[in-house]
Structure 1
Amino acid sequence: MTQVGQRPVTKALQHRLKRKREQSMLPKQDERASPLNAQEGFSRNADLDCGWGHLLFAPTFDDPQSLIDILLNEAPDRRDIAFYVRDPHVLLALAPQDVFLDPSHTYRLDLSTFRAVADPPRTFTVRRLCSEADAHAVNRIYAACGMVSVDPAFFWSKRDHRARIYLVAEDNKTGEIIGSVTGIDHARAFGDPEHGSSLWCLAVDQRASHAKIGEALTRHLAGQMAARGCNYVDLSVIHDNESAIRLYERLGFERIPFFTVKRKNPINEKLFTGKPLETGLNPYARIIVDEARRRGISVDVLDAPGGFFRLSHGGRSIVCRESLTELTSAVAMSRCDDKQVTRRLMREIGLPVPEGVKGDDEAGALDLLHRAGSVVVKPARGEQGRGVCVDIRSEADLTQAIDAAKTLCPEVIVETFMPGEDLRVLVIGGAIVAAALRKRPRIQGNGEDTIRTLIEGLSRRRAAATDGESRIPLDGETERCVKAGGYHLDDILPAGESLEVRRTANLHTGGTLHDVTQILHADIRAASLAAAEALGMPVVGLDYIVKAPEDNAFIFIEANERPGLANHEPQPVVERFLDLLFPQTLRLDPHQGGLAHA
């Protein structure tokens, strides 16, 4: 056991000594009122624009609310950082749904003991950023590293700013920029009496083959700060970045007890939501689960293959199957599930619906075909476009389509075919939150590949874009549509020619959504609200055939009790869905003066 005087240094004493050293680094309670902090040139509420966001020096703020107000006014696509936070619990209590404690460690390098390496790297050079080309290169590295991008013009305009130092590492052979780091001189930024500095945005080109680029940049910056008379260099590093922490500790950095607070935003999402859940859910359920976790709503996956999960918050618990929830009554669901009932209800409230007959009524179906010239066959119960055949013009195709639909549901509906655009309107909580045209899958000829090959290629692309949820089946319906266009699957489609390969626009069979919310005609809006109310549906997708979304000519087709909430960008449909389920997770938006979300 070692001795300090006559007193044994026990583990408990070692711990107390360590705590004492750490506490000595913290600002004292009356430090802000000290003569040093009151010296001429010291800035209150120090706020430095760094291009990627604002760096807020917390000890310069007398009022925690002022610091929170700046964080809440963070610009879009930026990352503001409140650094040197001494009492993070106070800030979090002021806006618990808006800000979070960053899971990063703060490290400090004492420049009084720092010694620069005498032998600099020979394969690359560390120097100041000195051209617009340098600025563009740094931004490229930021983007490749998943960091917040900075307008190159910002770098260039601030290159000679006294408070900022921008360094780059340049390959001696190629002249390519392979790394970058930013330094902030605190004395020049806000009159810091401690003459400190900090390191930010250390980034290295992942393609570079050189070793120790990050170390060289860090050492060079430390040398620059020491030459300026700074006493230390501080930095913030994510707690699980083991390689970076090893580098900093090898260079002599030591942890200090300061904290960082940031705004909850999409850029920071992985820092306050944790690792993504391995749920096994499909994209339509997962998009809801992800947004729920952003708001602090608890998620319990009940049946991943079926899309069932439970959401809980503040004593309220709701079981969902994708967008279908316990808020939907069995009666309302049965109205949507049976397309014949839906048609009757819509007709009663005055919505135009296509003329239809039951598929079992062979004479009635043939008569409708002869009178209309073209019909649609669909199962009375079904979803995702399964079993739906559109624009049937012959008796043989009609019989075949009815038989195919019966394999999915014994009850079949035959309706008049209405040409036009396929429109989906999403109503949530008695409000229209999105409207989108559903475009049918269409291939473009190149004069070389067969139609079959082109369809398979488009199907692969649609599957990749939707996590496998959207594919174009090479079934009888696809073959019928290709034949209707005058081709066979193994024909080569001429270059530049376009061919529609499905007559339905369901996303599951290759369709795509195109937002038209802002131009939706008032009559279609009114009809959609009336339809949702008549059905008693809190969440419903309503399908129409329209001449154009901004025109008042429309025909109601069907209602979907479990509409997909994905692919409705830029409309915040998932947010509105969770507003309905958990209104307590709403907050006031300081920018709009209305409701926004955690």
Structure 2
Amino acid sequence: MAAPARARARVAGLRRRQDAAAARPWDGAPGRPGERRASDVVLDMGWGRLVFGHTFADQRGVLEALRAEESGRRDIACYVPNPQVLVGVSPHELFIDPSYTYRLPLHTYRQRRDAVRDVEVRTLQAREELDEVNRIYATAGMVQADVDVMWANQRTRTFTHLVALDQRTGRIIGAVTGVDHALAFRDPENGASLWCLAVDGQAAPPGTGEALVRRLAERYLARGRAYLDLSVLHSNTGAITLYRKLGFHLAPPVCVKRKNPINQPLYAPLPSGLDELNPYARIIADEALRRGLRVAVTDAASGEMRLHSGSRSVLTRESLSELTSAVAMSRCDDKRVTRRLLAGAGLAVARGAEVTGADPERLQGGALEAARALLAEVGDVVVKPARGEQGRGITVGAPTDEALVAAVRHALAYCPDVLVEERVEGEDLRVVVIDHEVVAAAVRRPAAVVGTGRDPVEELVRRQSRRRQQATGGESSIPLDATTAAVVREAGWSMDDVLPRGHVLPVRRTANLHTGGTIDDVTARLHPALGEAARAASRAIGIPVTGVDLLVPDVEGPAHVVIEANERPGLANHEPQPTAQRFVDLLFPETRRSPQR
């Protein structure tokens, strides 16, 4: 059966089961004295199934239910009586999850009088919103869900899917799921549970997670439920602090899971140094471990590690590996060489001029002759070091001779050779190409803040910078420097001004992620001509993994200019696209996963 047909059949079966449950002669109240709860209850959540262990007559049934787990999913057996006995029956298959169960007695819950600023929590309203929910799941390192299953669930009262919106931008920034135990299996204890709390670390205002938990608790309080349970990893101290603040306390139940590749970090010793890796290396290490590969961290600070499959091994540094030749790497390293190779392959590149061997203190005469001629012809230029990364030394916009001299002098502080290019307007598009195939595409935007109507620009920058640091493990932050102040001033504001509510103010010139830039996935919208240009660039350079940068007026149109190619693109920036999966496919094709059934 083809994959789409299997998916349709799966959802149709789910709906039949839900309809059958809804047709039972039962009013939805908790179990009455003498009334038996439903038996062998398993709920498909989309990302995996909840196996309610206390509804099974014996533990053999729980074991068989867990054995039916689908590849790429994470099933959870909860409320299992004597879980240690269940694990003891099949210790090679099962383990007790290293998480805590927290319970909120709803009769003790106290509502918050003031709403969380700028956050609206409401019920999921459209199937398309689940794509945003999956995006947030991916950035939080969670298993993504089957959208069809989640949408079918949403149409029943057993499940409650809530989303949080940033009222200033209208974007979905968080999600949570609730399960009503009374409706699911006639729970005599009249309880409910919370699953998959996730917020967008880049954009969610402070308090978003709290707002989601509170609203879910209030929904079940209004239904007359007795408690709200949740499971939280023992090391998630931030979440545990929030739950305790809201009145949750430790409860006895534990969860049991299968020893599958997704769960491996929870039951097997982690390689030494794994927790010290940055997000760009960690995403690759986690994917390798999921496939049963051995990971040896050789230098955590640089993201270097060796991946082993049997007797074969490959050394990697984030997305750079031994498969990238020194020649290919040098072609990316020198932007002048990159530009010549791309132009020679017939690709559209910005007009440019080179400044070589200039004395920063004597930028007169012939040193800038070609650059000045280019400026006179095009009216505005971008100046960048010929070698460099993370946006260091780049000036976007030098429309005068004075600005050109200052920009070249700035670039020379980072590299003795400078490239001056025509400034081309358009969106900053990064296309990730692995094995000469497009895997992901995203528009990168300069760091920006959103006005609250209360806070000055400087405070907004500090807050957004903290969010970016937390979301990227310290890899991204917005510098509070002269450049930020200048960009704000050029937009007609000062750092002390209070931005109107909802006003979006860019605070950096470049879209570099290391200086707080953000990234929006556009893979599904990418015009075929842009994808072909990125593939052609990877072939011209002869590089197996690259991030090709283009300037485009519209990602859905063919017009473009290729700017450069990066030999070590940050794969973690492009979730939920399968960048890490395709990278490990390239390194170890024998571990490539077969299509999910």
Say yes or no: does 1:394 pair with 2:400: yes
Name the CA distance, whole Å, in 1 between partners of 2:321 and 2:457: 41
Instruction: Give the paired residue count.
Output: 426
Name the CA distance, whole Å, in 1 between partners of 2:406 and 2:106: 72
Name the CA distance, whole Å, in 1 between partners of 2:584 and 2:96: 27
Name the CA distance, whole Å, in 1 between partners of 2:533 and 2:246: 60
SS across alignment from 1:353: coil
Contact 1:425 1:434 in 2 (8 A): yes
Amino acid paired to 1:152 = V
SS across alignment from 2:574: coil
Name the CA distance, whole Å, in 2 between partners of 1:576 and 1:502: 32
Contact 1:79 1:263 in 2 (8 A): no
| CA shift digits 1:413-448 (9 cap, x unpaired) | 000000110000001112111000001112234555
Say yes or no: does 1:305 pair with 2:301: yes
Contact 2:428 2:445 in 1 (8 A): yes
| CA shift digits 1:174-208 (9 cap, x unpaired) | 99835779xxxxxxxxxxxxxxxxxxxxxxx8679
List alignment gaps of at least 5 residues for structure 1: 1-45, 93-99, 106-122, 126-134, 141-148, 182-204, 216-235, 239-259, 592-598
C-alpha deviation, 1:265, in angstroms: 6.4
Say yes or no: does 1:427 pair with 2:476: no
Residue from 329, 333, 340 that aligns with 1:337: 333
Per the alignment, residue 413 of structure 1 pairs with 419
Amino acid paired to 1:49 = V
C-alpha deviation, 1:341, in angstroms: 0.6
Amino acid paired to 2:531 = R
Say yes or no: does 1:359 pair with 2:355: yes
Residue from 564, 574, 588 that aligns with 1:582: 588
Per the alignment, residue 186 of structure 2 pairs with 159
Say yes or no: does 1:101 pair with 2:94: yes
Name the CA distance, whole Å, in 2 between partners of 1:320 and 1:284: 11
Contact 2:391 2:512 in 1 (8 A): yes
Contact 2:190 2:227 in 1 (8 A): no
SS across alignment from 1:336: helix
Q: Greater Rg, structure 1 or structure 2?
A: 1
SS across alignment from 1:392: coil
Alignment of 1:117-266 (within 5 A): 152-153=179-180, 155-159=182-186, 166=189, 177-178=226-227, 262=258, 264=260, 266=262
Q: Percent identity?
A: 43
List alignment gaps of at least 5 residues for structure 2: 1-38, 99-104, 108-155, 162-175, 193-220, 231-242, 357-366
Name the CA distance, whole Å, in 2 between partners of 1:168 and 1:151: 11
C-alpha deviation, 1:484, in angstroms: 2.9
C-alpha deviation, 1:585, in angstroms: 2.1
Contact 2:259 2:267 in 1 (8 A): no
C-alpha deviation, 1:273, in angstroms: 4.1
C-alpha deviation, 1:552, in angstroms: 0.2
Name the CA distance, whole Å, in 1 between partners of 2:490 and 2:451: 16
Residue from 474, 484, 496 that aligns with 1:478: 484
Name the CA distance, whole Å, in 1 between partners of 2:248 and 2:503: 50
| CA shift digits 1:94-117 (9 cap, x unpaired) | xxxxxx432589xxxxxxxxxxxx
Per the alignment, residue 289 of structure 2 pairs with 293
Contact 2:72 2:596 in 1 (8 A): no
Say yes or no: does 1:524 pair with 2:519: no
Say yes or no: does 1:271 pair with 2:277: no
Per the alignment, residue 548 of structure 2 pairs with 542
Alignment of 1:378-389 (within 5 A): 378-389=384-395
| CA shift digits 1:68-95 (9 cap, x unpaired) | 9733368677669999689859xx7xxx
Name the CA distance, whole Å, in 1 between partners of 2:181 and 2:301: 49
Cα 1:409–1:585, aligned 2, differ >3 Å: closer, same or farther? same
Per the alignment, residue 72 of structure 1 pairs with 70
Contact 2:427 2:551 in 1 (8 A): yes
C-alpha deviation, 1:497, in angstroms: 3.8
Cα 1:362–1:300, aligned 2, differ >3 Å: closer, same or farther? same
Amino acid paired to 2:326 = A
Give the alignment's TM-score, normalised by structure 2: 0.62
Contact 2:355 2:418 in 1 (8 A): yes
Say yes or no: does 1:557 pair with 2:572: no
Name the CA distance, whole Å, in 2 between partners of 1:354 and 1:342: 12
Contact 1:264 1:272 in 2 (8 A): no
| CA shift digits 1:284-325 (9 cap, x unpaired) | 122222222222222222222222221112111111111111
C-alpha deviation, 1:586, in angstroms: 2.2
Cα 1:265–1:166, aligned 2, differ >3 Å: closer, same or farther? farther
C-alpha deviation, 1:407, in angstroms: 0.9
Contact 1:428 1:538 in 2 (8 A): yes
Superposition RMSD on alpha carbons, in Å?
4.0
Amino acid paired to 1:156 = L
Per the alignment, residue 473 of structure 2 pairs with 467
Contact 1:426 1:435 in 2 (8 A): yes
Contact 2:431 2:442 in 1 (8 A): yes
Name the CA distance, whole Å, in 2 between partners of 1:210 and 1:307: 38
Name the CA distance, whole Å, in 2 between partners of 1:584 and 1:79: 32
Name the CA distance, whole Å, in 1 between partners of 2:86 and 2:585: 35
